[in-house]
Amino acid sequence: MSQNRQPGAGQEGEEAFATLRNNVNAVRAICSAVEGTLGPKGLDTMLVGARGEVIITNDGVTILEKMDVAHPAAQLLVQVARAQQERIGDGTTTATVLAGALVAEGARQVMRGVPVAKVVRGIQEGVAQAAQSLTSRARPVKGLDDPALYRIAYVAGREHADLAGLIVSGARQLGAGKLRVERFRFADVVQSLGQARGEVWPGVILSKRPANAQAEFPAQAAQVLILQDAFAPEEVEEEALTTESGYGRHMQLREQFRAALDRLSELKVGLIASERSVDAEAEQFCTDRGIMVLQRVPRALLRRLAEYTLARPVRRSALYRPAAECAGYLGYAGHIAYDERLECVRIAEGRGQAQVSIIVGASTNEIAGERLRIARDAASALQAALRSGWLPGGGAAEITAAYELDRHRETVRGMEGFGVEAVAHALRKPLSQIVVNAGYNPLEKVEEVKTAQLAAASDALGIDCDTGAVADMTEAGVMDPADVKLHALQAAGEVAAAVLRIHTVIKMRQLED
């Protein structure tokens, strides 16, 4: 069948390239939706929902995830942004722009007649070489007092000085050790609380209202119980309740639960946080005794609370154990209070691991949502820089890597060199797009930067988007985490290889239910 032949000249070659062209066009359409947001002169995108809901954002992953994307190749690009967000938490627009440029350059080489396998192999080699180049030039962060951290948060935070200050302050309170823990995501401590003012709270804030009806909770020190379950008696199936034995079992479980409640009161528990619902009788019991109860608390927040108070999350069956054993499950906090104005619970002076909660506020919910995304990008960038170091931003570091890749390309024998060339072209795209968004000629400015970098032997030279002149990005405080650039490049290489290898698109049949 013709599907198994190599692309050739004439009509057969055109048919073979039809799928590739279609995929490239889909990728191009996706890239056009986010590339206008890149750089200090990038603008926002308005997303409008079917019911009139509006999101105004500069965040690449938010734009891509909220877009109505049906084309399978375009969905691969969305996955690139999502992977960048999950792994690093910042740089999704850069990853998307790089991936789009790499797909376009790789496709251009294929349509020139270079075999796909050769182009893909060359792209993989080029990405590896460029990653090595970037890694070798990364500058380390000299602790949490390093001025570079504020600049990194400021750039990632889209020049919001107040948000950058909050992020740096929160990082210093947490400490470098906590920020370097692999599974800890600094961005998760950033919250939005509507009309709140920006602040760093030295503890945990739970954005929940107590389940207790008509109860006031002044600040107090208390034991903390965390339930990864419902705060309610064990349930008996409804069918069983219609029988005498089933109803008897129900009443027995209810009595056991009442005894467990008395035990919690004796242990001086002051806060109960439950992952699921709270039984009405348990709620009233706790209200009468001044015990604050929170229901349907997300597991991630329960985990933070457990680490901070040293509580051991348990199932409700643990409530029926002896008091001495139950005491071993409890955590402790020296300050627990309900903030009625912001409708949140503030917890401080825990006896476990250090925690902070960074609060971001705004005048409207729409603006608060965008400021939250910006602050989380800044937090992720700061954490990534602390772990991997930083590189000059503004596309400058990529220009140096592209030049080194051009030199490497001269040593590559065989058609894989065309794939290496595609990576070098793609690495120039971030700077090119930044200057386009600033209103300058990309060809002229990219060549100016390349010439200036060679003359000064510096990878820090880029374009000042206000004046259009060549400027030192490090001196201007334009810095990016090395991990952001590295992961973006590697993800772009993977999606480009996947798109270029697609020969035929076939709709799968739907499986019968």
Answer yes or no: do 131 and 28 share one domain. yes
Q: Is 160 within a domain? A: no
The answer to whether residues 428 and 351 belong to one domain is no
Domain boundary among the residues 303, 330, 355 is at 355
Do both 320 and 448 map to the same domain? no
Assigned domain for 169 exists = no
pLDDT, residue 3, reads 42
Domain for residue 186, yes or no?
no
Measured distance CA(232)–CA(250) in Å, rounded: 12
pLDDT at 5: 43
Distance CA 486, CA 134 (A): 7
The CATH code of the domain that includes 317 is: 3.50.7.10
Full 3-state SS string of 127-195: HHHHHHHHHHCCECCCCCCCHHHHHHHHHHCCCCHHHHHHHHHHHHHHCHHHHCCCCCCHHHHEEECCC
Per-residue burial over 424-445, b if 16 or more Cβ lie within 10 Å, else e, is: bbbbbbbbbbbbbbbebebeeb
Strand 390-392 and strand 479-481: the pairing is: antiparallel
Q: Are residues 207 and 125 in the same domain?
A: no
Residue-range definition of the domain harbouring residue 246: 203-355
Cα separations in angstroms, 281 against 216, 238, 275, 394, 436: 18, 19, 18, 60, 64
Give the Cβ contact number of residue 510 at 10 Å: 6
- Structural domain total, the chain: 2
Q: Are residues 264 and 337 in the same domain?
A: yes
- The tens-digit pLDDT sequence of the chain (513 residues) is 334 444 444 444 555 688 888 888 888 888 888 888 888 888 888 888 877 788 888 777 788 878 777 788 888 888 888 888 888 888 888 888 999 999 999 999 999 899 999 999 999 999 999 999 999 999 999 999 999 999 999 999 999 999 999 999 999 999 999 999 888 999 999 998 877 888 999 999 999 999 987 677 888 999 999 999 999 888 767 666 667 676 677 788 888 888 889 888 889 899 999 999 999 999 999 999 889 999 999 999 999 999 999 999 999 889 888 888 989 999 999 999 999 888 899 999 999 988 999 999 877 767 788 889 899 999 999 999 999 999 999 999 999 999 999 999 999 989 999 999 999 999 999 999 999 999 999 999 999 999 999 999 999 999 999 999 999 999 999 999 999 999 999 999 998 998 888 877 777 777 665
Question: Last residue of a domain, which of 328, 355, 382?
Answer: 355
Q: Are residues 283 and 404 in the same domain?
A: no
Q: How far apart (Å, rounded) are the C-alpha atoms in residues 308 and 347?
A: 9
Co-location of 343 and 460 in the same domain: no
Identify the H or E element spanning 46.
Answer: strand 45-48
348 and 247, same structural domain?
A: yes
Q: For residue 144, give the nearest of 168, 160, 178 by alpha carbon.
A: 168
> Which CATH number fits the domain that encloses residue 83?
1.10.560.10
| C-alpha to C-alpha distance for 386 and 146, rounded to whole angstroms | 10
The structure's pTM equals 0.85
Same domain, 130 and 263: no
Per-residue pLDDT at 119: 94
Is residue 126 within 8 A of residue 422, CB to CB? The reply is yes
- pLDDT in the model for residue 203: 95
- Tell me, yes or no, whether 405 and 494 share the same domain: yes
Dihedral angle computed from the Cα positions of residues 142, 145, 151 and 153, in that order, rounded to the nearest 10 degrees: 100
Domain shared by 260 and 313, yes or no:
yes
User: Is residue 327 included in any domain, yes or no?
Assistant: yes
Phi, psi of 214 (to 5 degrees): 50, 55
User: What does the CA dihedral 254, 258, 264, 266 come to, rounded to 10 degrees?
Assistant: -160
Q: Is residue 383 part of a domain?
A: no
In a domain, 234, yes or no: yes
DSSP state of 270: E
Do the domain assignments include residue 375? Answer: no
Same domain, 323 and 451: no
The whole-number pLDDT of residue 61 equals: 79
